[in-house]
Amino acid sequence: MPRLFGTDGVRGLANRKLTAQLALDLGDAAVRVLGSSDQNGGRRRALIGRDTRVSGDFLASALAAGMSSGGFDVIDVGIIPTPGIAYLTSVLNVEMGAVISASHNPMPDNGIKFFARGGFKLADTKEDEIEKVLGAEWERPTGEGVGRVSHDTVTATNMYIDHLVSAVAPTGADKTRPKPLAGLRIVADCANGATSVVAPEALRQAGADVVVINASPDGYNINKHAGSTHPEQLQAMVKASDAVMGVAFDGDADRCLAVDEDGTMVNGDQIMGILAHAKQREGKLANNTLVVTVMSNLGLKLALKDMGIATVQTGVGDRYVLEEMLRGGFTLGGEQSGHVINREFATTGDGTLTALTLANEVVRTGRSLKELAADFPQLPQQLINVPNVDKLAAPTNAKVQAAVEREEALLGETGRVLLRPSGTEPLVRVMAEAETQQQADEVCHRLAQVVADELSL
């Protein structure tokens, strides 16, 4: 039987794979695994938040029912970005937080993920424990032992916004707050998702002149031709409104991509490079190291090396980035997709925080986003998905590995190749980076052909 939890919680088509019954059972199981200690005079508490998908309504009710029947008092904070739940779980006296979201996926999908006390995503072992007791009978509490469900959207949202703004504009001794982004016109594409209120308000409180698009969620339009997966509207609006930059979020706002004043995309690698250089300048980049994944462009690593910044590489997934950050005591890491984890202020990727700190760096340096991004040129890249192959044999097949070595020798230090098996399909992703697009295309196609010929099912 396949594992229920994926790389970012339980996810699937709402009301098919992810049903109300499964949400109920997950809530019931989670309190048994994560609620081992009594707090608040015997009352244990959990937070629930969600994105704007219509299915979030019934899934939140079911999840809350499972948790409260297990003896937890549940605070439903309504629509809020995923990192908002992580933050609130880290500062409030609660046992755990839960988010109902499928992030950048289409609207019909949804998901459930948990944060442990302290605001960190669960380790695989904890998810396995939840899965092990899922649906199992146990002696549930009765009478006064049953939990309550309350709703508080305003307090939670305001606490989170205040935290975000404080990252770039901490309140002074005179109780006033500076506005470091004053004079910056920024376009914010909220993907009709969870940050439709939070991001515009946080940017405005920091002083920015904010032009907002795709911030009218109706339950059905999350990520629809909007946000970080569809940045075309943002690119056009930045140019049309004479903005200095634009930022795009996904449905649950744990990632952020940017657009410079010309409408050119600034990807997660470039954003990480800019923020790493800023932290290095401030003496806040632990061990002068940035944690990246295997998908980060070689151009980022070469540029950082010239700046005296090392990189540590992990597998794909922000949870693996965070694990390495905690293991090595590093303060910044992320993914090319726009997940950026800034441990000075957060326990997980936070798109709105990234937008604020990126805009703040434009102000601090007096340089445009275009100029800052140019410090981290991206090598031309090609990616080919090779389907219907034995993905597990790629690392051990002699002819495939010989082809990899041949292409790596050809590229030398000015390029690289990567074979990455899909986590869900019989497919291998072949990626090549090189000095020119033509060379990247040629290397990638040659290697993809070898993979198809040697590993075909």
Query: Known catalytic residues?
Result: 103
Residue 250 known to bind ligand: yes
State how far the Cα of 343 lies from the Cα of 185, in Å rounded to an integer. 27
Cβ proximity of 268 and 335 under 8 Å: yes
Residue 252 known to bind ligand: yes
Q: Is 369 exposed, middle or buried (0-12, 13-18, 19+ CB in 10 A)?
A: buried
State how far the Cα of 221 lies from the Cα of 140, in Å rounded to an integer. 39
Residue 247 CB contacts under 8 Å (≥ 6 apart), including other chains? 186, 187, 188, 189, 199, 234, 256, 257, 258, 259, 351, 354, 355, 358, 359
State how far the Cα of 163 lies from the Cα of 356, in Å rounded to an integer. 12
Helix (H, G, I), strand (E, B) or coil at 82: helix
Q: Is 446 exposed, middle or buried (0-12, 13-18, 19+ CB in 10 A)?
A: middle
Task: Using the structure block, give the residue that is written with the tokens 């019934």.
Answer: 58
Residue 101 known to bind ligand: no
State how far the Cα of 59 lies from the Cα of 444, in Å rounded to an integer. 43
Residue 254 known to bind ligand: yes
Residue 8 CB contacts under 8 Å (≥ 6 apart), including other chains? 103, 111, 113, 317, 318, 319
Going by the annotation, the residues of the binding site are: 103, 250, 252, 254
Going by the annotation, the residues of the binding site for Mg(2+) are: 103, 250, 252, 254
